[in-house]
């Protein structure tokens, strides 16, 4: 992984869950990690909801002072440039779609510098089973909208095609062609494909796979289940 990884995508694509998994995996391997909650749009699925999980692993959580409060105010209250220049890895979870990506444009200069130094990845999460991104053309169009809003180019694709709790390995395998088609349209590589934790990928399948644990659950689900 690069020093700084930015995760973007459609609402409900699973970008926050991926951000949490990446931060935890890095921390468990002994790396210093900062997780940045740049989602100032969606009040339900935020990396700021995982303070206890991060604290146990010494992951620094960087979020708005209004996160996890009764105030849903789209405001940033931290110096992202300083965080990106500190030692260790940085995972940045961005708000959904082009509206959420507007916050990225505020830091275009530092991201341009990191990109020039070879220290930045901007990964776009796709989910073929998600409304409004069910076709490669729709997924690609949304990615370009995010780039236009943020003024920052993506460097890769994350295939996180899932059906929530009904997801199994076959669900993921059926999405591989979808991911490859998005890759061809965008001329960007598929960085990895997410698979349910504990899954065993059949022999003969090319590509990188990342087992992910479900940390982000809908508010109506019991987190202890």
CATH number of the domain enclosing 159? 3.40.50.300
Q: Is residue 224 part of a domain?
A: no
Q: Is residue 222 part of a domain?
A: no
Residue 194: strand pairing partners: 210
Question: Is 91 exposed, middle or buried, given 0-12, 13-18 or 19+ CB atoms closer than 10 A?
Answer: buried
CA pair distance 31, 200, nearest whole angstrom: 26
Q: Is residue 54 part of a domain?
A: yes
pLDDT of residue 160: 96
- Report the b/e string of 128-155 with b at 16+ CB within 10 A: bbbeebeebebbbebbeebbebbebebb
Q: Is residue 184 part of a domain?
A: yes
Q: Tens-of-pLDDT digits for all 225 residues of the chain? A: 899 999 999 988 999 899 999 999 999 999 999 999 887 665 544 555 687 889 899 999 887 655 444 444 445 556 888 999 999 999 999 987 777 788 888 889 999 999 999 999 999 999 999 988 999 999 999 999 999 999 999 999 999 999 888 899 999 999 999 999 999 999 999 999 999 998 887 676 767 999 999 887 655 454 444
Residue that the structure tokens 């020093």 belong to: 3
pLDDT of residue 69: 46
Residue 89: strand pairing partners: 33
Q: Is residue 41 part of a domain?
A: yes
By C-alpha distance, which of 136, 188, 206, 124 is closest to 160?
Answer: 124
Q: Is residue 159 part of a domain?
A: yes
Classify the C-alpha dihedral 200-201-203-207 as positive or negative: negative
Q: Is residue 47 part of a domain?
A: yes
In degrees and rounded to multiples of 5, residue 60 shows phi and psi of -75, 125
pLDDT of residue 223: 44
Q: Give the chain's domain count.
A: 1
pLDDT of residue 77: 55
First to last CA, the chain: 32
pTM flag (> 0.85): yes
pLDDT of residue 72: 46
Domain of 72? 4-212
Q: Is residue 223 part of a domain?
A: no
Show the tokens assigned to 5.
């990884």
């Amino acid at each position: 992984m690069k020093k700084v990884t930015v995760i973007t995508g459609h609402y409900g694509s699973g970008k926050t869950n991926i951000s949490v998994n990446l931060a935890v995996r890095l921390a468990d391997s002994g790396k210093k990690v900062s997780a940045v909650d740049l989602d100032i749009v969606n009040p339900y699925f935020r990396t700021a909801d995982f303070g206890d999980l991060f604290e146990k692993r010494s992951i620094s959580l960087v979020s708005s002072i209004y996160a996890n409060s009764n105030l849903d105010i789209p405001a940033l209250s931290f110096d992202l440039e300083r965080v990106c220049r500190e030692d260790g890895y940085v995972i940045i979870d961005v708000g959904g779609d082009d509206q959420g990506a507007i916050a990225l444009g505020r830091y275009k200069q530092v991201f341009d510098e990191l990109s020039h130094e070879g220290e930045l990845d901007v990964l776009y999460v796709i989910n073929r089973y998600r409304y409004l991104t069910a076709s490669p053309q729709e997924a690609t169009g949304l990615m370009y909208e995010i780039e236009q809003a943020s003024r920052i180019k993506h460097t890769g694709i994350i295939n996180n095609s899932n059906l929530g709790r009904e997801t199994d390995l076959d669900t993921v395998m059926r999405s591989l062609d979808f991911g490859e088609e998005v890759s061809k349209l965008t001329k960007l590589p598929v960085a990895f494909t997410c698979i349910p934790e504990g899954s065993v990928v059949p022999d003969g399948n090319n590509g990188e796979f990342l087992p992910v644990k479900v940390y982000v659950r809908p508010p109506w689900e019991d987190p202890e289940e």
